[in-house]
Amino acid sequence: MSTNKQRLHVAVGVIRDGDGRILITQRAKHAHQGGLWEFPGGKLEADEPVQQALARELAEEVGIQVQTATPLIKINHDYGDRHVLLDVWSVTAFSGQASGCEGQAMRWVNVEQLQEFSFPAANVPIIAAAQIPHYYAILEGRSADDALNNCNKILASGAKLLQFRVKSLPIADLQNVFEQVSQLCRQQQVSLLVNADLPVDTANAQGLHLSSRALLTCNERPNGYRWVAASCHNLDELRYAEALGLDFAVLAPVQATASHPDAAPLGWQTLTELLEHINLPVFALGGLGRQDLDRALAAGAQGIAGISAFLSDD
Ligand SMILES: Nc1nc2c([nH]c(=O)n2[C@H]2C[C@H](O)[C@@H](COP(=O)(O)OP(=O)(O)OP(=O)(O)O)O2)c(=O)[nH]1
Ligand SMILES: [Mg+2]
């Protein structure tokens, strides 16, 4: 039981260099979770603000001075012998040359290489959060032309993660549009997830996106996909997605939205509270634009998901 165990608050930095590589270090053999790889960081001192602890730990452990850090994800994990709250920050600007100041092994690795290292169990969702971007574009369209036009706008926005959810096409058009979209995504190195409700051949996709209804009919994580995500509307659905071991979720609607006028918006406060209970990257969806990213990050979200959010120039 974790009830009378103290929760250890730990500041953790996912440090990225100019080439997008991430810094990992190896925990000392004798330490808790010893010998495993980690993102540098350490325990908060009494009454120490988390960003101050982050700056101090990263200076002590790897000799860098943090210039810009944004919240990435918070993980609550009970190891049995210790309960940790990993308060993970994305460090995107720093000064100094990183080195293992405590004699620990250190590597700069590409995000896809993170899979090759053994991390503590609590790190699984941190690694997913580090590998996926802050924007998740949802592709819809009333016709084949409309869908392809929207796809081009989304790609021009710079989005690198896309869900194919073109629901109203005749079946013959659907597969054809999907193949064109998957080719465009491949050319531009965009990760493509297919909505599981669509009857398309998903061989060319990197992932599957489950509606909340499809999520609740799954007994295990669908096999064979690099990414599996789900749409959620409440804490139970988020918990179910986490328990299945999905990579990320979308939570909606955060604000009022014309596409779902009957759904009551959660609001930022409820979003923040729900995300405190979940160890999963979660995109905020519904009535939001790309300009809401900072607010979503501050609420503990991975970023912004949207349909129309990626169709305008701003
Ligand atoms: N820094 C860091 N800690 C992690 C990660 N994953 C994970 O489960 N942890 C756990 C291991 C430890 O129980 C705890 C971090 O505590 P720590 O012992 O490293 O703290 P510290 O740097 O202040 O070390 P010390 O002063 O006590 O030597 O969080 C991670 O990626 N980075
Ligand atoms: Mg440490």
Q: Which tens digits make up the pLDDT trace of 45-63? A: 999 999 999 999 999 999 9
161 pLDDT more than 70? yes
Cβ(299) – ligand 1 distance below 6 Å = no
From 39, 43, 117, 279, give the residue whose CB has the most ligand 1 atoms within 8 Å, as the site to mutate.
43
Q: What is the pLDDT of residue 235?
A: 97
Nearest partner of 165 among 200, 135, 132, judged by Cα: 200
Peptide bond into 120 cis (omega under 30): no
Taking residue 284's Cβ as centre, other Cβ atoms within 10 Å add up to 30
Alpha carbon of 230 to ligand 1 centroid (Å) = 30
Give the tokens for residue 8.
């250890």
Q: What is the pLDDT of residue 299?
A: 97
Q: What is the pLDDT of residue 147?
A: 97
Query: What distances in angstroms separate CA 147 from CA 141, 151, 240, 309, one per listed residue?
Result: 4, 6, 31, 15
Q: What is the pLDDT of residue 204?
A: 79
Cβ(205) – ligand 1 distance below 6 Å = no
Q: What CATH number labels 135-310? A: 3.20.20.70
Cα gap 75→62, rounded to integer Å: 22
Q: Which ligand has its closest atom nearest to the C-alpha of 38?
A: 1
Q: What CATH number labels 7-123? A: 3.90.79.10
Give the model's confidence band at 150: pLDDT under 50 very low, under 70 low, under 90 confident, else very high: very high
Cα gap 79→120, rounded to integer Å: 10
Cβ(26) – ligand 1 distance below 6 Å = no
Rounded to 10 degrees, the C-alpha dihedral 124/127/133/135 comes to 20
Give the model's confidence band at 2: pLDDT under 50 very low, under 70 low, under 90 confident, else very high: very low
Cα gap 177→143, rounded to integer Å: 10
Q: Could you tell me the maximum CA-CA distance found in the chain, to the nearest angstrom?
A: 63
Q: Reduced to 3 states, what is the DSSP secondary structure of residue 65?
A: strand
78 pLDDT more than 90? yes
Identify the weakest region by mean pLDDT among 38-47, 164-173, 220-229. 164-173
Alpha carbon of 10 to ligand 1 centroid (Å) = 7
Task: List CB contacts of 136: < 8 A, sequence separation 6 or more.
Answer: 159, 161, 162, 163, 248, 250, 283, 302, 303, 304, 305, 306
159 pLDDT more than 60? yes
- The upper half-sphere exposure of residue 109, i.e. CA atoms within 13 Å in the direction of its Cβ, equals 19
Q: What is the pLDDT of residue 262?
A: 81
From 26, 45, 86, give the residue whose CB has the most ligand 1 atoms within 8 Å, as the site to mutate.
86
200 pLDDT more than 70? yes
Any idea what DSSP says for residue 45?
P
Alpha carbon of 38 to ligand 2 centroid (Å) = 9
Which H, E and C letters describe 189-238, residue by residue? CCEEEEECCCCCCHHHCCEEEECHHHHHHCCCCCCCCCEEEEEECCHHHH
Predicted ipTM beyond 0.90: yes
Q: What is the pLDDT of residue 4?
A: 54
Q: What is the pLDDT of residue 255?
A: 94
258 pLDDT more than 90? no
Cβ(302) – ligand 1 distance below 6 Å = no
Cβ(25) – ligand 1 distance below 6 Å = no
Instruction: Give the best-scoring range by mean pLDDT among 138-152, 195-209, 247-261.
Output: 138-152
Every domain of the chain and the residues it spans: 7-123, 135-310
